[in-house]
């Protein structure tokens, strides 16, 4: 396949009149001319975005916890409500929910997703006849949509620091190290020849795994990637200090070779030294600004982190928002709130905030999913989107002003077309081959939300 782009954002910057030669889903060549027979793409092309943190099942509960559950409503009261709401979810439901969700991700510009998947058992804690039933459901939902998946089953054993036994609401998450290893081994065998899905390991959090279990997982899953929730809530930080005598990020960075194969999700509450050390480690901070705002987590110290050349990417987490455009807007605005200045997340080499945000999140996200994506160059996967310049908010914009406006001016989705691994998945804003996913999703919601 050959794609002629009238305007495209390559690693070298914005370029006009370029032909991409795509073979087996990968960009095999880039020529600065129009090649005969190439498909002409009129709209500007930019790299697809990586969603580095997703809990698919939580999509079904968006909007159902927006009431005051107690006088001290917090992340923890939200979590209790979420535990109650998930009791009815089956593997069949998960497939429908994930297929719909991943389709929405594609429509908004995500082309890869890392799924932080921690629903493994039935509501009473009894494993399904197939212990990988829930993972299969998520993977099949991804395959039906066409998104590329880094599936990261979650290891969850304890309810809190001090090796407290798991609670009733956490029974669907529970695994021993041995049962968790068997789960990954089954999944690797079942999908060993499937280019659309790869695997990672996700210790849920320092409160949910012991130090010994963490090291057992590190010794076993040597290749990575590893994903972990960390320092999301001040209560979690304080409990970690009480138990380990160290703050979460401080503690985890001392547990061996913690570097580029890791994603520290949230990492909201950091000291100056933790911020510096995390930045220098090569770990990617997995930021989920819309979810973090919704849960009242706090604001990531992005300016200090970037001063030490820290790496970061974005995820949709609880799916209160599925738009990378809004995630990036909220990230920049959070820093404006905090520092009372404008245009903070940019660099001297990339003074336009929109381009800096999009390119950086996409490129660093590729490190998290361990895939050749996030930028458009020879040898990279053909994952890209086109921007809908027919939107009034994008009228008359060009190059860097186009990405600035897509992030900060558009209220409508600015994505027109989406290609993943050389295959069109969205054209003119419409999903291809997924026409009934929304209807199936509505039917699942009606059943789940019955009183």
DSSP secondary structure letters along 4-54: EEEEEEETTEEEEEEEEEEETTEEEEEESSPPTTPEEE-S-EEEPEEEEEE
Structure pTM?
0.97
Q: What pLDDT sits at residue 203?
A: 98
**Nearest Cα to Cα of residue 166 among 69, 83, 57:** 83
Answer yes or no: is 79 within a domain.
yes
Q: Which position has the token pair 């979650």? A: 154
Q: What is the mean pLDDT of each run of 10 residues along the chain (451 residues)?
A: 98 97 98 94 98 96 83 79 82 97 98 97 95 97 97 97 93 96 97 96 98 97 95 97 98 96 98 98 98 96 98 97 98 98 95 98 97 98 98 96 98 98 97 90 92 54
Question: Quick one: CA dihedral 41, 46, 52, 53, positive or negative?
Answer: negative
**Which pLDDT does position 451 carry in this prediction?**
54
Among residues 2, 9, 10, 94, the alpha carbon closest in space to that of 56 is found at 94
Question: Residue 319 domain-assigned?
Answer: yes
Report, in this order, helix, strand and coil percent for the chain, each rounded to 5. Answer: 40, 25, 35
**Token output for 159:** 């309810």
Residue 297 is among the residues annotated as catalytic for this protein: no
Residues 343 and 165: their CA atoms lie apart, in Å, by 46
> What's the structural domain count of the chain?
1
Closest CA to 449 of 187, 9, 59: 59
Within a domain: residue 140?
yes
Provide the sign of the torsion angle of the four alpha carbons 401, 402, 408, 410, taken in this order.
positive
- Domain encompassing residue 65: 49-373
Cα within 13 Å of Cα(426), Cβ side: 28
Q: Which of the residues 120, 136, 229, 266 is marked catalytic?
A: 266
Decide if 266 is catalytic.
Answer: yes
Residue 163 lies in a domain: yes
Confidence at residue 386, expressed as pLDDT on a 0 to 100 scale:
98
| Active-site entry in 277, 297, 317, 417 | 317
CA-to-CA separations, 143 to 162, 166, 399, 441, in angstroms, rounded: 40, 33, 33, 16
Q: Around Cβ 204, how many Cβ atoms within 10 Å?
A: 19
Q: What is the DSSP letter of 128?
A: P
The answer to whether residue 448 is domain-embedded is no
Q: C-alpha dihedral over 126, 128, 129, 134, to 10 degrees?
A: -160
β-partners of residue 314 are 287
Pairing of strands 26-31, 13-23: antiparallel
Residue 353 lies in a domain: yes
d(CA 235, CA 219): 29
Distance CA 431, CA 352 (A): 31
- Return all residues near 312 (Cβ < 8 A) that are at least 6 apart: 284, 285, 286, 287, 300, 302, 305, 360, 361, 364
Identify the CATH number of the domain in which residue 222 sits.
3.20.20.140
Within a domain: residue 56? yes
Sign of CA dihedral 241, 246, 247, 248: negative
Do residues 49 and 316 touch, judged by C-beta distance below 8 A? Answer: no
């Amino acid at each position: 396949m050959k794609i002629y782009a009238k305007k495209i954002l390559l690693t070298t910057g914005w370029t006009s009149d370029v032909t991409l030669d795509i073979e087996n889903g990968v960009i095999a060549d880039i020529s600065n001319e129009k090649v005969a027979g190439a498909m002409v793409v009129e709209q500007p092309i930019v790299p697809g975005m990586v969603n580095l943190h997703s809990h698919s099942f939580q999509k079904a509960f968006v909007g159902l916890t927006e009431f005051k559950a107690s006088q001290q409503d917090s992340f923890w009261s939200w979590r209790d409500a979420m535990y109650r709401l998930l009791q009815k979810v089956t593997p069949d439901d998960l497939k429908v929910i994930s297929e719909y969700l991943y389709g929405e991700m594609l429509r908004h510009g995500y082309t890869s997703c890392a799924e932080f998947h921690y629903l493994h058992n039935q509501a009473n804690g009894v494993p399904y006849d197939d212990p990988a039933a829930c993972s299969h459901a998520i993977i099949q939902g991804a395959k039906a949509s066409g998104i590329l998946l880094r599936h990261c089953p979650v290891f969850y054993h304890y309810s809190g620091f001090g090796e407290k036994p798991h609670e009733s609401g956490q029974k669907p998450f529970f695994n021993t190290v041995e049962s968790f290893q068997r789960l990954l081994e089954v999944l690797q065998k079942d999908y060993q020849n499937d280019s659309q899905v790869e695997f990672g390991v996700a210790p849920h959090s320092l409160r949910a795994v012991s130090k010994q279990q963490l090291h057992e997982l590190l010794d076993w899953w040597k290749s990575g990637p590893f994903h972990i929730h960390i320092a999301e809530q001040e209560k979690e930080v304080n409990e970690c200090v009480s138990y380990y005598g160290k703050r979460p990020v401080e503690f985890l960075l001392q547990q061996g070779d913690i570097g580029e194969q890791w994603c520290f999700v949230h990492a909201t509450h950091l000291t100056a030294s933790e911020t510096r050390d995390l930045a220098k480690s090569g770990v990617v901070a997995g930021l989920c600004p819309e979810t973090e705002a919704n849960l009242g987590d706090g604001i990531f110290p992005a300016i200090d982190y970037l001063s030490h050349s820290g790496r970061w990417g974005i995820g949709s987490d609880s799916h209160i928002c599925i738009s990378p455009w809004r995630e990036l807007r909220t990230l920049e605005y959070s820093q404006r709130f905090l520092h009372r200045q404008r245009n903070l997340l940019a660099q001297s080499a990339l003074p336009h905030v929109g381009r800096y945000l999009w390119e950086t999140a996409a490129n660093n996200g590729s490190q998290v999913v361990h895939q050749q994506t996030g930028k458009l160059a020879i040898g990279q996967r053909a994952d890209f989107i086109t921007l809908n310049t027919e939107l009034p908010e994008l009228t008359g914009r060009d190059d860097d002003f186009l990405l600035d406006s897509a992030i900060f001016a558009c209220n409508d989705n600015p994505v027109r077309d989406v290609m993943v691994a050389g295959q069109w998945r969205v054209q003119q804003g419409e999903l291809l081959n997924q026409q009934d996913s929304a209807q199936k999703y509505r039917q699942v919601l009606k059943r789940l939300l019955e009183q």
